[in-house]
Amino acid sequence: MADKNKSGDFYNRPEKLGAWAGLKQFIWNSDTSQFMGRTKDSWGKILFFYLIFYSVLALFFWVMWLFFASTIVDGHPKYQLKDSLIGDNPGLGFRPMPPSDSNVESTLIWYRKNNATSSKYWVSQIKDFLEDFVEDKSKKDKLNRVSCDIVGPRPVVDICKVNLEKYGKCSYDPSTNKNPNFGFDEGKPCVFLKLNKIFNWIPEYYNNASDLPENMPPQLKKHIIGQKKMKDVVWVSCEGENPADKEHIRELKYYTFDDNAQQGFNGFFYPFNTNQYNQPLVAVRFEDITFGVLINVECKAWAKNIKHDRQERRGSVHFELLIDEN
């Protein structure tokens, strides 16, 4: 019988080393000429592999960056109007918006007329929205705001002032806190409308009374025909979405800071083609409506190159208004 204790018959456990001795042997093993567990040939191979791997990886990302950077044009989008994802048919937006945490798809403006707490949220939403239009007179305004005139084009490098103090019963002056409730406390709330920005979009105006579309609301037609001189204005109309809703809206008033465009967006704000840009606003005040009834409101922008689609909300905006008396 073979002697099982003979050297080589069984695995011999390595000599147990202390912590310090084991660390020194790991860093440099003189018996095997290994540095940190690898020979010089092994280290050379693995370093060469990762050098090639990361060089190729860096080259790939550099080429991709050059490719995507070539699609970016400084100062304006590469794809515009019909070539862009948003197209060339602007929609309308409204403020104040309902709380996003309750339902992101909600468009309901609801409050109690005789409850200041109930309307506080809506008033604060309007004030926050209008902050971007306020010129800080106490400090140097970073934006180069200028007064624009309807007879001349807007300077490309400048931004037109939107004078919030001239919006009639929907005016707002943060320095004096004029009209702090925007009619909400009276049950005659102001809703601000804006035309969504599309780079380099130029409206085609209705400057001839004979060109007005048949589906334009009679009130707006009468307003346009009554103008002494046709102006470059993107007209705006608001009314009940359905016949029943129209019965509950008895009187509306429209306000802008410009007397030349009391029911629309003045043409000298277009086109939007600069980073320094404040879009024009139209304030709609619901002077006389039925309380305690949910009213579906539809507002439309009117220009020859604005098409209306109720399902896609192109050229229009929808919201609901509900004012309870108690």
Least confident of 151-165, 237-251, 256-270: 151-165
Burial class (CB in 10 A: 0-12, 13-18, 19+), 20: exposed
pLDDT at 277 over 60: yes
Q: What is the pLDDT of the chain when averaged over all its residues?
A: 82
Question: Does the pLDDT value for residue 137 go beyond 80?
Answer: no
Q: CA–CA distance from 202 to each of 99, 271, 279, 305, 317 (Å)?
A: 33, 5, 13, 9, 20
205-224 pLDDT, tens digit each: 998 888 899 999 999 999 88
Q: Is 50 exceeded by the pLDDT of residue 139?
A: no
pLDDT digits (tens, 9 = 90+) for 83-117: 777 888 998 999 999 887 766 678 999 999 888 88
Q: Is 181 left (phi over 0), alpha (psi -120 to 50) or beta?
A: alpha
Q: CB count, 10 Å around CB of 281?
A: 22
C-alpha 323/C-alpha 219 separation (Å) is 24
* Phi and psi, residue 44, nearest 5°: -60, -40
For residue 138, is pLDDT > 50?
Answer: no
Task: Please write the tens of the pLDDT for every residue from 154-175.
Answer: 555 556 777 888 888 998 887 7
What band does 302 get if pLDDT is binned at 50, 70 and 90?
Answer: very high
* pLDDT over threshold 60, residue 122: yes
Question: Is pLDDT at 253 greater than 60 in this prediction?
Answer: yes
Helices (H), ranges, the chain? 19-27, 40-69, 116-130, 218-225, 243-247
Element (H, E) at 284: strand 281-289
The pLDDT confidence band at residue 32, using thresholds 50, 70 and 90, is: confident
